[in-house]
Structure 1
Amino acid sequence: MKDLTLGIDIGTTSVKSILISKDGDVLFETSRPHDLISSEPGFAEEDPNIWWNSVKSILKEISEKKLSNRIAAIGITGMVPTLVLIDEKLDAIRNSIQQNDARSTAEIAELKKFIKEDEYFFETANTLNQQVIFPKILWLKKHEPENIDKTRWIMGSYDFISTKLTGNPHVEMNWALESGMWLVKEKKWHDDILEVADIKRGILPPVFEPIEIVGETIPEIEKEIGFPAGVPVIAGSADHIASSLAVGLRDEGDLLLKFGGAGDIMFVTDSLKMDRRLFLDYHDIPSKYILNGCMAASGSLVKWYMNIVQEKSYDELTKMAMESSIGSRGLLTLPYFLGEKTPIFDTKARGVIFGLGLHHNRGDIFRSILESVAFGFKHHIEVLKEIGLEIKRVFISDGGAKNPLWRQITADVVGMDVKYILNNPGSSLGVAFLAGVSAGIFKNWNEIDKFITESEIVISNQKSNSQYEKYYYIYRKLYEILKPLYEELYNIKEGKLDEV
């Protein structure tokens, strides 16, 4: 009986997996850790062979538990747009280059001489930034031509694993979109960009939509680890899109706020909408899209502060913050401690704690940090409203959302009730469900709700919202006032005194 589906997530710090049933049960979960490799400043790499060995270890464990013969389909999700070079034998040639790798600054500057950025954005829904793939290819051509010469295919993290499972090279459509080499409306490769970047069309694999089957597990896998051959494998999903599906984000107007190390913002639309202040992806649900944003610091800012004050108890700081007041007794924090991605795209912006007085304590500052992330979420909501989009449901998830104070602050700042999703496995669940849809185990997209068994509605206090509006006004104005000073500070730090 084929009544289970398997989801595997190639994450930044581990490979995670989950095995689910059509009834909403989780039969198996496990993970295998791995490390980020940064051999030089700005470099971010990982070893794809470690991912592959971890996946084989997980599949072997599933087989030993006598569950593998019940699997109807497999889905892989992962970081995007990671770059993996593979050879004729479908083996990785070098370490992956991760999406947050910053080595291609010079190549991006050179490309800007030839690419009209407004036109490029309209065609691809991308900007010329460190994440897109083709500047990294140019870097490799310059610094590692021998590896480019060996390259038969380029693809992403999850594409590499499903290619190894099936023997069929391919990429999922969101990897193509986020590569910056894809025409978002026409859904085909952008020949002009390929020409500018001197990339041969032949190294780009076929592109598949998430629920399409790309092949079946090969006999060699069965011989090596005992996992059965012939199990269908779908194209899979970008991790942030799969995690959105996992919390039930499926209807136009649904908004998800994720409190991870960074702060993610995901919004569903039924039609193509683009804005340079936001990123865009295809939804895993056909014919839908997800406008999304990423705040560079969220949970990482909380960890920074706890380290600074040498406080190990998250609960103790939260208790002190609860004894503070709305607006943290006159404190405002700008959370740009790592610069900022969306919606301001300012790498030179820096963190600010504004309004400090001798009467302030650690709890006030901690609360101000929590409020600053909520203000960042509100900024994204304003962008969505400015382009004519209506927010109908708000979900919150991930580690930071476990803090009840942070949940309430967020509901009060954004002025809407929010649904907190507890104990959700995230992207591995999303892609397992996607595999189930492909296999016919799940008949409609609403069945993802079978797995959302624990949730809580946080009611927004409108009186608190009115108070927060006044602080939010200063929050927005503070950045605009400081923006030219950020530029001057950067020039001094970099020794560009003549530009000040």
Structure 2
Amino acid sequence: MTTPTGLILGLDIGTSSTKGVLVDLGGHIVATATRAHEPSRPHPGQVEMDADVWWREFGEIARELTESASAAILAVGVSGMGPCVLLTDEEFHPLRPAILYGVDTRAGQQIERLNEKLGAEAILQRCGSMLSSQAAGPKLAWIAEHEPQVWERARHLFMPASWLAFNLTGAYVLDHQSASQTTPLYDTLALDWYAPWADQLRGSIELPTLKWPGDAAGTVTRAAAAETGLPEGIPVIVGTIDAWTEAVSVGAQHPGDLMLMYGTTLFLVNTSATRCLHPALWGTVGAFEGTYNFAAGMATSGAITAWLKNLFGDVDYPVLLAEAAASPPGANGLLMLPYFAGERTPINDPDARGVIVGLTLSHTRGDLYRAALEATAFGIRHNIEQMRAAGATIDRIVAVGGGTQGGLWTQIVSDVTGLVQEITTTSIGASFGAAFLAAGLVGATPLGGTPLGATSIEAWNPVSHRITPNALTTERYDALFASYLQLYPQTKALAHELAEVQRGS
């Protein structure tokens, strides 16, 4: 047998953009393309997106990349934000915009009712996670209660990656990792849908067939080939949620690894060979069979810096980063809570709100920008400490995402946590990880059975450098972190009152 030659298309549907990448079988990026988009927020706490955007942008990017390709496209990798809830009718037409992941906090009442009915501890033990805004199950219950005309017609459940896989291949599938975030529908002990609870929540929805993210969903159909410009008959992976393909993209899927994904929101994924449980974190199955994850997520991170940039007006990020770097650790006496869109882990409070303490007339925009970076770093440390308290092993941290560029943010995180971070050569993220998984379908990586000249993700994307904490700065941040932990309980009641006012207006 000879080693195949050609290109792999990887594509990821993110919160603020769709990114595509063409990669050769050695992991070299040949071309990239991006389409920006924004979710809609019809009411406070509600975040949605039209699934037609996902497929349209896939087609645009696929044509842009393949028309300039110098070799044949061999396979397609798909990835997307999640867990999301996209419902379609019997003919697979979307019935409403997709409800997004944990940033959508509408289903609080449904969470309370399901906990009372099924038992919060029973849910944790079987599903690996407590119910929270991250769980897809309560959002199904919300639609059933608030949109009965939609619910009566609902027959299928999709997430961004599975929606792309369906439109490309016609296969109605979902990966185990994504399914494990539909709590309480999925059993992380049996690795299957949990019928006693799923049947109570799914109505007339036929649950999709379960596969692993790197498995083949099918091959590109003639109709999909005509719409996208892709070759008919090439394989497409099932795909999974973007944070997990991000982890794959930087080789952070081994037991003891922790991936930090710096983006609009911030995500942490720790991998182990056994289940770990903690009521404040998300226990899921891994991207690969035989692995499990502790996952955590912050509702805002890069979103805060983008908000500040908009407030400051005509100023570029490099200028803000330079001004923040000139501000000393502690931002000249500022402390911020990064809960500008509520918070996911570890407090799981959709009514938490952002707080800035210590403002004076002498503070600059550089101080504010640094305080925002430090706030996300404190949130990361809070989650890491919760993971370790629950028995997680963290031997290695790998950072990925746009926020790794520039150096200041990652240095602050290492200084706050006291931990080394590895940065790989390629930080493009989930689309690159999806391409690596798809390369396994043609034997170019060890994921596709018998490898043909197979290479590992470490060969595709080696570590380029490490961020080492400054011991003196870490000592200063230790004291600030103690204050950070006090700030939320001291302002919680008032934040909840204001959140109620915001809902009313």
Q: TM-score, normalised by structure 2?
A: 0.88
Aligned 8 A contact 1:397 1:422 in 2: no
CA contact (8 A) 1:84 1:156 kept: yes
Deviation for aligned residue 1:296:
2.0
Which residue in the other structure is 1:406 paired with?
Answer: 409
Query: How far has the Cα of 1:491 moved from its partner?
Result: 6.7
Q: What is the aligned partner in structure 2 of residue 238 from structure 1?
A: 241
Between the aligned partners of 1:307 and 1:51, the Cα distance in structure 2 is 26
Q: 1:381 to 1:137 in 2, by over 3 A?
A: closer
The answer to whether structure 1 residue 457 and structure 2 residue 442 are counterparts is no
Seen in structure 2, the aligned counterparts of structure 1 residues 71 and 2 have a Cα distance that, compared at 3 Å, is farther
Deviation at 1:419, TM superposition (A): 1.9
* 1:4-403 alignment runs, 5 A limit: 4-65=7-68, 70-99=72-101, 100-180=103-183, 181-197=185-201, 199-200=203-204, 203-222=206-225, 227-310=230-313, 312-357=315-360, 360-403=363-406
> What's the offset of the Cα at 1:184?
0.9
Is residue 2:481 matched to residue 1:475?
no
Note the C-alpha offset of 1:62.
4.9
Task: Pick the structure with greater CA Rg.
Answer: 1
Give the conservation status (yes or no) of the 8 Å contact 1:13–1:33.
Answer: yes
* Contact persistence 2:400–2:429 (CA under 8 A): no
- Runs of 5+ in structure 2 lacking a partner? 448-453
Separation of aligned partners in 1, 2:62 and 2:373? 40
**Is 1:447 the counterpart of 2:456 in the alignment?**
yes
Structure 2 vs 1, CA of residues 366 and 154 (structure 1 numbering), >3 Å: closer, same or farther?
closer
- Output one character per residue of 1:104-155: Cα deviation in whole Å (capped at 9) or x when no partner: 3443344344121111121112333334333333333344444444433222
Of stretches 36-45 and 262-271 in structure 1, the one that deviates more from structure 2 is: 36-45
Give the distance between the partners of 1:394 and 1:128, measured in 2 at CA. 27
State the one-letter code of the partner of 1:364.
Answer: D
Q: Residue type matched to 2:209 in 1?
A: P
Moved more, 143-152 or 288-297: 143-152
The residue type paired with residue 219 of structure 1 is R
The amino acid that maps onto 1:270 is A
Instruction: Using the TM superposition, give the Cα deviation of residue 265 of structure 1 relative to its aligned residue in structure 2, in angstroms.
Output: 1.8
| CA shift for structure 1 position 494 | 7.6
Aligned pair count reads 493
Distance 1:446 1:117, change over 3 A: farther
Which residue is equivalent to 1:498? none
Q: Which one-letter code corresponds to 1:407 in the other structure?
A: T
In 1: Cα distance, 2:248 partner to 2:263 partner: 17
- Rounded to whole Å, the distance in 2 between the matches of 1:5 and 1:33 is 22
Q: 1:404 to 1:139 in 2, by over 3 A?
A: closer
Mapped to 1, the partners of 2:277 and 2:249 lie a distance apart of 24
- 1:31 is displaced (CA, Å) by 3.0
Counterpart secondary structure, 1:178: coil
Q: Any runs of at least 4 consecutive aligned residues in structure 1 with deviations exceeding 6 A, and if so which? A: 491-495
Name the % identity. Answer: 30
* CA distance in 2 between partners of 1:397 and 1:194 (Å): 35
CA distance in 1, matches of 2:502, 2:29: 52
Q: 1:326 offset after TM fit, Å?
A: 2.7
- For 1:417, the aligned partner's letter is V
The 1-side partners of 2:147 and 2:83 are apart by: 20
Contact 2:169 2:224 in 1 (8 A): no
Instruction: Give the secondary-structure state (helix, strand or coil) at the position aligned to 1:94.
Output: coil
* Aligned CA distance change for structure 1 residues 294 and 223 (closer, same or farther; 3 Å): closer
Bigger Cα displacement from structure 2, 109-118 vs 233-242: 109-118
Give distance in 2, aligned partners of 1:393 and 1:41: 38
Post-superposition CA distance 1:391-444 (Å, at most 9, x none):
222222323332333222222211122223465221111011011123321127
| TM-score normalised by structure 1 residue count | 0.88
Shift in CA distance, 176/60, structure 1 to aligned 2, threshold 3 Å = same
For residues 391 and 298 of structure 1, the distance between their equivalents in structure 2, rounded to whole angstroms, comes to 22
Q: CA deviation at 1:166?
A: 1.4
Please, what is the CA RMSD of the aligned residues?
A: 2.9
Distance in 1 between residues matched to 2:422 and 2:199, nearest whole Å: 47
Deviation at 1:345, TM superposition (A): 1.5
What SS does the corresponding residue of 2:9 show, helix, strand or coil? strand
Q: How far apart, CA to CA, are the structure 2 residues paired with 1:36 and 1:340?
A: 18
The answer as to whether partners of 2:135 and 2:181 remain within 8 angstroms in 1 is yes
CA distance in 1, matches of 2:146, 2:460: 47
Question: Would the alpha carbon gap of residues 317 and 148 (structure 1) be closer, same or farther in structure 2, given more than 3 Å must change?
Answer: closer
